[in-house]
Structure 1
Amino acid sequence: MSPQTLFLTHLVFGYVACLLCFSVYVLPRLRSMERVEAQRVIATVHSFRFFGLVFILPGVVGPNLPAGFANFAAYGDFAAGVLALLALLTVRVRPLFWFFVVAFNLVGTVDILIDYYHAVRLGLPVVAGQLGAAYAIPILYVPLLMITHVVALYWLVRPHPRAASVLIGDAAAS
């Protein structure tokens, strides 16, 4: 099998395995939590995105890893990770917490989408071995990140059932 085929196979199966694991073990637990607590769990997962800086660490990745991919991926991950950490640090100041939750999810989602674009444009799947020890990041961690971004963003834009019932209860009481 070619390196490109192996990389794409790993990526697809990474998403499938993460989706199955997330939907069976994580999503039911997150659904049972209060909104803030569920978003804190997701922010905690994303707070480790500082690890993406490994894409620019010589000796961990190969010298022929496309710089156009590595630099943007490293700093995009770092920015999303810092925003996730800020969300965790500001949980007691709810307006700030929600601001940082929205920010890290938007920045993180855009980062992953642009990283995919750069990877395809620069031919990363053909030279995937240049990822070295960082190979596991796009195969295992990125699918989990993207899945949790989708869930977090969906929960941010959908009406909250408890909030609706509180509003309905308030209207009925008056």
Structure 2
Amino acid sequence: MSPAIIFTLHLGLGYVPWLLCFRAYVWPRLGSMDAVAAHRAIATLHSFRFFGLVFLVPGVVGPHLPAGFATFAAYGDLATGVLAILALLTIRTRPLFWLFTVAFNVVGMLDLIVDYYHGVTLNLPALSGELGAAYAIPVLYVPLLMITHCAAFCLMVRHRRGASRLVIGEAAS
């Protein structure tokens, strides 16, 4: 099997165990928490996104890793991580907390989508060996990040709907 096929399988199959684990253990727990606590847990995971800067470290990644992928992935992860840290630091100031929570989720999801786009257009599967020690990031870490961004948006919609029902219920009383 070629390295490109192996990488593509790794990338796709990386979602399967995370989705199974998330559905069985994480989603029920997040759903039972209040909105702030649930988003705080997700922000904590994403606060480690500074780790994506490893795509810029020679010797960790190969010299032929496309800069069009590495640079955007590294700085997109850094921006997401900083925004997640800011969300955690502002937890006592709810408007700022929610601003940074929405921001890190929007920036983080866009970063991953653009990274997938760059990976496809730059033929990253054929160059997957150039990821070097960072190979595990797109295969193991990225699926969890994408799943938690989706979960965060679902929780935001659920929270918003619940708040709307509460306001409507109070108005009807």
The normalised TM-score by structure 2 is 0.95
Look up the match of 1:167: 167
**Matched residues in 2 for 1:72 and 1:44: separation?**
22
SS of match in other structure, 2:64: coil
Look up the match of 1:123: 123
Query: Which amino acid counterpart does residue 46 of structure 1 have in structure 2?
Result: H
Evaluate the alpha carbon distance shift between residue 159 and residue 84 of structure 1 in structure 2; reply closer, same or farther with a 3 A threshold. closer
Look up the match of 2:88: 88
**Matched residues in 2 for 1:165 and 1:112: separation?**
33
Evaluate the alpha carbon distance shift between residue 34 and residue 145 of structure 1 in structure 2; reply closer, same or farther with a 3 A threshold. same
Look up the match of 2:99: 99
Query: Which amino acid counterpart does residue 118 of structure 2 have in structure 1?
Result: H
How far the C-alpha of 1:165 sits from its partner, in A, is: 5.0
**Matched residues in 2 for 1:148 and 1:162: separation?**
20
How far the C-alpha of 1:156 sits from its partner, in A, is: 1.7
The C-alpha deviation readout for 1:103-150, integer Å capped at 9, x for no partner, is: 000000000000001011111100101111100000010000000001
How far the C-alpha of 1:169 sits from its partner, in A, is: 4.3
SS of match in other structure, 2:147: helix
Query: Alignment identity in percent?
Result: 65
Query: Which amino acid counterpart does residue 22 of structure 1 have in structure 2?
Result: F
**Matched residues in 2 for 1:69 and 1:142: separation?**
14
**Matched residues in 2 for 1:61 and 1:160: separation?**
42
Query: Which consecutive residues of structure 1, in runs of 5 or more, have no partner in the other structure?
Result: none
Deviating more after overlay: 20-29 vs 164-173: 164-173
SS of match in other structure, 1:23: helix
**Matched residues in 1 for 2:26 and 2:104: separation?**
20
Aligned length: 173
The C-alpha deviation readout for 1:41-99, integer Å capped at 9, x for no partner, is: 00001000000000000110011111110000000000000000000000000000000
Confirm whether residue 18 of structure 1 aligns to residue 11 of structure 2. no
Confirm whether residue 76 of structure 1 aligns to residue 73 of structure 2. no
**Matched residues in 2 for 1:28 and 1:87: separation?**
23
Query: Which amino acid counterpart does residue 16 of structure 1 have in structure 2?
Result: V
SS of match in other structure, 1:65: coil
Evaluate the alpha carbon distance shift between residue 4 and residue 32 of structure 1 in structure 2; reply closer, same or farther with a 3 A threshold. same
User: What is the RMSD computed on CA atoms of the aligned residues?
Assistant: 1.3
Confirm whether residue 149 of structure 1 aligns to residue 149 of structure 2. yes
Question: Could you tell me whether the CA contact under 8 Å between 2:35 and 2:159 is conserved in 1?
Answer: no
Look up the match of 1:66: 66
The normalised TM-score by structure 1 is 0.95
SS of match in other structure, 1:127: helix
How far the C-alpha of 1:167 sits from its partner, in A, is: 2.4
How far the C-alpha of 1:166 sits from its partner, in A, is: 3.2
